[in-house]
Chains A and B, each alone.
Chain A
Amino acid sequence: MLKKIDLDARLFVGAALALFFIGGTLTTVMPPLIDKSWGKPFENSDPSKGPTGKLLPYTAQEKKGLAIYTREGCWYCHTQQTRTLLADTKRSGWRGVDAPVSTPDEFVYDSPHMFGTKRTGPDLSHVGGKYDAQWHRTHFRNPRDLVPGSIMPPFPWIANNEEEFQALVAYLQRLGRAKNWRPDNDYEK
């Protein structure tokens, strides 16, 4: 068999593509058909089944914020996933409350997805409502004014552009808010 493929280019092409498509289809096309939570927005009104809340579609302004987040490459340094690791739920938590683990149904409207692969800065999956707009403005002008030792670049062209700044903040404030996980509802605006 191997020897035959060695001599016949057409047989080679067929075999190489067949092997590729077995794994390719089973790992990309099939999973969303089996696991429905990939495409169904989060919604829960029963506190006994975990945090309540509902994932809302993006507003026009939030969408613009996501576009700015994408354009500036924020996602190269900030992940957006609270993983199934105890430390992740604590680090994404706020004022003593641990954040819930991220689930696929919280990201149904995200395109491009912003899960990220590298965590040079902190994870932002639950950053929504932690800091107010004034904090963000100062932080974008120069991150080191608020967080000494930070290596985040300054973004004066966003802080000084009212429309872009408001859009980006609107986007950030929505992150991790589908699940109502903070009992005091102490979200900053």
Chain B
Amino acid sequence: MEEQLVIESTHAGTRTVTPTLHRDATAKWFLISSVSYFFIVGMIALAIAAKFVWPELLGTVSILTYGRLRPLHVNGMLFGWLLACDMGLTFYFVPRLCGVRLWSEKLGLATAGLWNVIILGAVVELLAGHNQGLEYAELPMWLDILVVIAWVMYGTNILMTVATRKYQQMYVSLWYTMGTILWTPFVYLTGNFATLFATGVNQANLNWMYVHNAVGLIFTPVGLAIAYYFIPRASNAPLHSHRLSMIGFWSLAFVYVWTGAHHMLHGPISQWLQTIAIAFSVMLLIPVWTVVYNFFATMKGQWQLVRENVSLKFLMSGVVFYLLTCFQGPMHSLRTVNAIVSKTDWIPGHAHMALLGGFSFFAIAGTYYVLPRIYNTKLYSDTLANWSYWLFMIGGLGFFVCLWLGGFWQGWQWNNPSIPFIDTVTALKPIWMVRFFSGVLMFAGITAFLYNFMATILYAGAENETHA
């Protein structure tokens, strides 16, 4: 009986909703700006990868130095691309899962406008070196305040849509979206405001609580909301188990927030707090494995669809990367493993697999799925979409694998104090070269994605004009 309900609510959108119900103006603007930032910030990503190989490159201009471009890369990708794209996709599926129109398109468009002001403001401020000095919380105060305002606007719109829903039962994607909306303010306020009233280790502890939960309680739940919506949609199969998805959700809600201190293992922070963080980091395997099992079981007997469907390609590869990255996380929270990999190039390899390989793949998949539907047209080129997949995949694998190998090797060298530090730097130069060329492939993937995206919109516009 319970399973029956779920199947109905997943298919509810297509059964009763007429195509004219949804206007999707907000979703469109969020997607257009996020995909554009993906491309622009991708260039910055390439520039900083190049600086590892050619340290003199653009090196004597203060606004183009590594220390200015890196925060721009991180913030641009996190907030300009990924979070904005995720918000755009929720603006698409929340009204559909609720069987009603978005509560307010006007408010949505204002949110999209404000979000662009924030991103452009961030570019100027970060290049000028106005950096608060805390990871992921680099933006100056006035931008932090605008982010909070924009989030309240976004949250109000989504929650009001849920409040006016036609279908009483809420599908998993709705819980995850609502969870994101509820947790984000507290996580963000901790990282950007509470830290200002603390110093030293206390501040660092708040900072890591924010950094870890920015990924764990913002990008993870909204990313999973997207995967939970689009995997059954793109494969045209009902979700395997509603009960399992509940276990995954509520264990995530409980476990994630405890793990912040694992960023300072062996560091100057209380040992007992490190141990708590380790224990809860290992427990993260529960929400991750229940979610991943559910996705795989949904695909059972449908795997042949992956060959033809580019959205499913991105989705299922994203699930595999999510599984891997969330296996790495608990493992290098263990003290013995941490003593080797912590602070090395392994860590960016791990972080990129989560945010690029996992959540960005979900966002790209969602965008490919949604785009033709909101513009009432066909994707400009399926071939190009496939190319973008393989470029991301090969570039991504090259990036992840070379940094893991390089990072592990680096960690072993560091643990032998008879090797001078500079020799551990020069040893990694071939690794950074491979990373740069993997970056070139991924950037080509972004370019193909952007081109396909824009061409679809422009052709749709031209088509509609001829019909009129």
User: Which residues of A line the B interface, CB within 8 A?
Assistant: 2-3, 6-7, 9, 12-13, 15-17, 19-24, 26-28, 31-32, 34-35, 38-39, 70-77, 79, 81, 83-88, 90-91, 101-104, 106-122, 143-144, 147-157
Q: Which of B65, B200, B250 contacts A19 (CB 8 A)?
A: B250
Q: Would you call B267 and A153 a contact (CB within 8 A)?
A: no
Question: Closest Cβ of chain B: how far from A119's Cβ, in Å?
Answer: 4
Contact residues in A for B133 (Cβ distance below 8 Å)? 70, 75, 112, 114
Within the complex, which residue of A20, A73, A117, A157 is in contact with B263, where a contact is CB–CB below 8 Å?
A117
Report chain B residues within 8 Å CB of A103. 268
A28-B205, A87-B417 given; 11 more Cβ-contact pairs under 8 Å: A13-B178, A28-B194, A35-B273, A38-B270, A71-B130, A77-B66, A85-B266, A91-B421, A107-B204, A149-B426, A150-B425
Known: A104-B268, A118-B347, A155-B65. A20 touches B71 (CB 8 A): no
Q: Which residues of the other chain, B, contact A39 by a CB distance below 8 angstroms?
A: 200, 202
| Also in contact, A119 and B250, with CB within 8 A (given A71-B129, A76-B70, A108-B199) | no
> Which label, helix, strand, loop or mixed, suits the secondary structure of the B interface?
helix
Give the docked Cα–Cα distance between A91 and B422 (Å). 12
Output the residue of B62, B162, B195 with the most chain A CB within 10 A.
Answer: B62
A150 and B268 in contact, given A7-B168, A72-B129 (Cβ under 8 angstroms): no
Query: Is B19 part of the contact surface with A, judged by Cβ < 8 Å?
Result: no
B415: Cβ under 8 A from any A Cβ:
yes
Given A16-B182, A23-B258: A153 and B253 interface contact (C-beta under 8 Å): no
**B202, A150: Cβ atoms closer than 8 Å:** no
User: Which chain A residue shows the least CB distance to B128?
Assistant: A71
Contact of B163 among A9, A106, A112, A147 (CB under 8 A): A9
Across the interface, which residues of A come within 8 angstroms of B209, CB to CB?
24, 27-28
A84 to chain B, nearest CB (A): 5
| Chain B: CB-nearest residue to A156 | B60
Cα distance A77–B51 when bound, in Å? 13
Which B residues touch A22, using CB under 8 A?
254
Say if the beta carbon of B134 comes within 8 Å of chain A.
yes
Given A85-B339, A107-B201, check contact A153 B66 (CB 8 Å): yes
Contact at A150–B422, with CB atoms within 8 Å?
A: yes
The reply on B55 being an interface residue by CB < 8 A is: yes
Give the number of residues in B that approach A within 8 Å (Cβ atoms).
Answer: 85
Q: Which residues of B contact A110 (CB under 8 A)?
A: 199-200, 203
| Chain B residues with CB below 8 A from A111, complex form | 196, 198-200, 203
The yes or no answer to B237 lying at the interface (CB within 8 A) is no
B261 touching A27, Cβ below 8 Å: yes
- What residue of chain B has the Cβ atom nearest to residue A86's Cβ? B417
B-chain residues with CB within 8 Å of residue A74 when the two chains form the complex: 67
Can you identify 22 A-B contacts, CB atoms within 8 angstroms? A20-B217, A20-B253, A24-B257, A26-B258, A27-B260, A32-B205, A39-B200, A70-B131, A70-B133, A71-B129, A75-B133, A77-B67, A107-B200, A108-B200, A110-B203, A111-B203, A118-B343, A148-B422, A149-B423, A150-B422, A153-B59, A157-B62
Q: How far is the CB of B175 from chain A (nearest CB, A)?
A: 7
Judge whether B199 and A113 touch: CB under 8 Å: yes
Which residues on A sit within 8 Å (CB–CB) of B70?
73, 76
Contacting pair A12 B414 (CB below 8 A): no
In the bound assembly, the distance between CA atoms of A119 and B414 in angstroms comes to 10
Asked if A38 and B273 make an inter-chain contact with CB atoms under 8 angstroms apart, the answer reads no
Residue of A nearest to B179 (CB): A16
Give B314 Cβ to nearest chain A Cβ, in Å: 28
CB distance from A42 to the nearest CB of B (A): 11
* Cross-chain contact B421 with A32 (CB below 8 angstroms): no
With beta carbons under 8 angstroms apart, the residue of A6, A79, A154 that contacts B246 is A6
Is residue B296 within 8 Å, beta carbon to beta carbon, of the partner chain?
A: no
Closest chain A residue to B70, Cβ basis? A76
Given A2-B250, A12-B170, A109-B200, A81 and B267 touching (CB < 8 A)? Answer: yes
Contact of B56 among A104, A109, A154 (CB under 8 A): A154
Determine if B67 and A153 form an interchain contact, defined as CB atoms under 8 angstroms apart. yes
CB-CB under 8 A from A15, the residues of chain B are: 250, 253
- Assess whether B417 is in contact with A90, with CB atoms less than 8 Å apart: yes
Residue of A nearest to B343 (CB): A119
Which residue of chain A is the closest to B274 with respect to CB atoms?
A: A84
In the complex the two chains form, what is the Cα distance from A111 to B133 in whole Å? Answer: 8
Docked Cα-Cα span, A104 to B264, in Å, equals 12
Bound form: Cα–Cα A189–B199 in Å: 27
Indicate which residue in B55, B203, B243 contacts A113 across the interface (CB closer than 8 Å). B203
Contact of B207 with A by CB under 8 A: yes
Write the B145-163 contact mask toward A (1 if CB under 8 angstroms, else 0): 0000000000000000011
Q: How far is the CB of B99 from chain A (nearest CB, A)?
A: 15
Residues of B within 8 A of A104 (CB): 200-201, 268-270
Of B66, B198, B260, the residue contacting A76 (CB under 8 A) is: B66
CA distance A155 to B51 in the complex (A): 14
Q: With the chains together, A13 CA to B170 CA distance in Å? A: 13
- Indicate whether B17 reaches chain A with its CB closer than 8 angstroms: no
Is B202 a contact partner of A32 (Cβ separation < 8 A)? yes
Chain B 256-283 interface residues, beta-carbon cutoff 8 Å to A: 256-258, 260-261, 263-264, 266-270, 273, 276-277, 280
- B195 partner residues in chain A, CB cutoff 8 A: 112
Looking at B133, B206, B273, the one whose CB has the most chain A CB atoms below 10 A away is: B133
Q: Report yes or no: B175 in contact with A12, Cβ–Cβ below 8 A.
A: yes
Tell me the complex Cα distance, A27–B279, Å.
13
B26 at the A interface (CB under 8 A): no
Chain B residues positioned under 8 Å from A120 (CB to CB) = 52, 425
A20-B266 in contact (CB<8A)? no
Tell me, yes or no, whether B293 is within 8 Å of chain A by CB.
no
Residue B105 CB within 8 A of the other chain: no
Residue among B70, B186, B343 having the largest count of chain A Cβ atoms under 10 Å: B343
B169 at interface, CB cutoff 8 A: yes
CB of B267 within 8 A of CB of A115, answer: yes
Given contacts A2-B246, A70-B131, A73-B68, contact A113 B270 (CB under 8 A): no
Which of A7, A27, A115 sits near B169, CB closer than 8 Å?
A7
